[in-house]
Copies of this chain bind each other. A is one copy, B any other.
Amino acid sequence: MRLSDIAGPDVAEIVREDPAALGEGLRAFHPADISELLAGLRREDRVRVLEHLDDETLGDTLTYADGETLKLALLRLSPRRIAAALDTLEPDDVASALSVVPEEKRSPILDAMSKRDAAAARGLLRFDPGTAGRLMTDKFVAVTPQHTVTAALTELRHIDPRVATVANLYVLGENQRLAGVVSLRTLLPAHGDATIGSLMIDEVVSVTPETPQEEVARLVSKYSFSALPVVDDAGRILGIVTVDDVIDVLVSQETENMLRMGGVAAEDSETRGTFDYFGSSIVRIVRSRIGWLLLLFLAGTLTGSVLRHFEGQLSQVVALSIFIPLIIGTGGNAGSQSVSTIIRALALGQVRLRDAGRVLLRESLAGLLLGLTLCVFAVVRTVLWGNTPQLALVVGLTILCVCAWANIVGALVPLLAERFNIDPTVSSAPMITTLVDATGLAIYMLIARAVLGL
């Protein structure tokens, strides 16, 4: 039976009537499914279920839980209970669970944990959120270059069950320095007497604990690695980041980029982690948006300044103002298309800075073609609304110019951001819209002045 086959309301009833039986029954399910089930329950019911899970199931469930459930567990269950559950986990999962609550709530839990595990977690919590140091685990398979294949395979049969992956064996030289890496796939078919030193790859791609998690994700995705070692300045191995953590980074990065493109701060200034929708207060939600919204509003007043400059024209031909929203809307849409295309091409490495010239040429050409098509529709619509052919010409020409202009700006801004090492997704889209709004209006009014002779 799959857990999702049990309907939510039924579960809620069982929770209240016999939570102990439910806790017992859940042990058979995958922790990812348990955490999904929890997310569908009310907060009080969630706490009741969490209380009745055994330590190991509770620990596993916490590694898959969303921020709201995690916070609930850490704040409402006793520190001793949470500590016992966290003691069953790898240090990176402990650190990532603890990072959702403020410093002062962490200490009682860490104090109740086993000394070794608490020390490992404290070590990771020293690193900033969003770095390789926070993602790494110190449970990996280490061998020496002198090991034979047979000896290495025999040792593998006595590994710590919490080891993160057996796909790669890390070869340590003197002073714990990372000398090489050998994949289990290479090791398995090799001759038993061969030494690890003769099989290992000694040019290892590695990162430092301070490396941003986005760079870790980029490397793992570029080289199709299953894990990436983290070394200190002396080249000593501190831990490894595994591919499943990278997937979490990629998923949260995708949605964070979506936030940025929408003009919302992706990082919670308080926890420095990502936002949890219902886990954040309205005030924090408003705070994450007001900055950009206000900035864009102030930038947007520029459109008013442009129009004030042409107030005389507007009062002479009131019909001009009727097309204002359509013109700036079209410019904004064309700009958004261009900016998202270029950001994507940059992210996938299809476009580099040195291609800037080619990109701008292509985008202005594309803009002209798009503008030409819309121009036809614009002229027809203007005439159908009973306006003069002159006004139709003004609207049509403006749409054509604004499309080409918006495409150029939309391509230029991400390229400039890349040039100056700014993340191009940081509100590129709304910024460009605002920029194109004001300049588009100026184009409109200048064309109107020229054609209508105002």
Contact = CB atoms under 8 A, between A and B. Distances in A.
Contacts of A161: 185, 189
A326 B344 contact: no
Interface residues of A, number: 124
B324 A156 contact: no
A192 to B, nearest CB: 9
Interface stretch (A47-55, A76-84, A97-105, A284-292): A284-292
A102 to B, nearest CB: 20
A368 to B, nearest CB: 10
B289 A344 contact: no
B263 A336 contact: yes
A345 B275 CA distance: 9
Interface in A273-305: 276-279, 282, 285-286, 289-290, 292-294, 296-298, 300-301, 303-304
Contacts of A223: 30, 32
A212 interface: no
A72 interface: no
B244 A224 contact: yes
Interface string A326-366: 10111011101101111111011111101100110010011
Contacts of A6: none
Given A32-B222, A185-B163, A437 B348 contact: no
A198 interface: no
A127 interface: no
Contact of A258 (B261, B300, B350, B438): B261
Interface string A147-188: 000000100111101010111000000000000000011001
Given A185-B163, A325-B441, A433-B332, A301 B381 contact: yes
A66 interface: yes
Contacts of A425: 258
Given A66-B349, A222-B32, A311-B318, A333 B278 contact: no
Contacts of A307: 321-322, 324-325
B370 A286 contact: yes
A135 B314 CA distance: 59
Nearest to A336: B262
Contacts of A348: 66, 251-252, 255
B261 A261 contact: yes
Copy tally for this chain in the complex stands at 2
A379 interface: no
A184 B158 contact: no
A132 interface: no
A200 B398 CA distance: 68
Given A278-B351, A282-B369, A311-B322, A259 B344 contact: yes
Contact of A298 (B308, B347, B377): B377
A406 B258 CA distance: 18
Contacts of A251: 221, 250, 347-348
A386 B36 CA distance: 57
A167 B153 CA distance: 15
Given A223-B30, A334-B293, A343 B166 contact: no
A329 B345 contact: no
A257 interface: yes
A285 B258 CA distance: 23
Nearest to A167: B167
A18 interface: no
A39 interface: yes
18 contacts: A40-B352, A68-B350, A157-B189, A224-B247, A247-B250, A255-B344, A255-B348, A261-B261, A263-B336, A264-B341, A286-B366, A286-B370, A289-B370, A300-B325, A303-B329, A318-B321, A325-B438, A325-B441
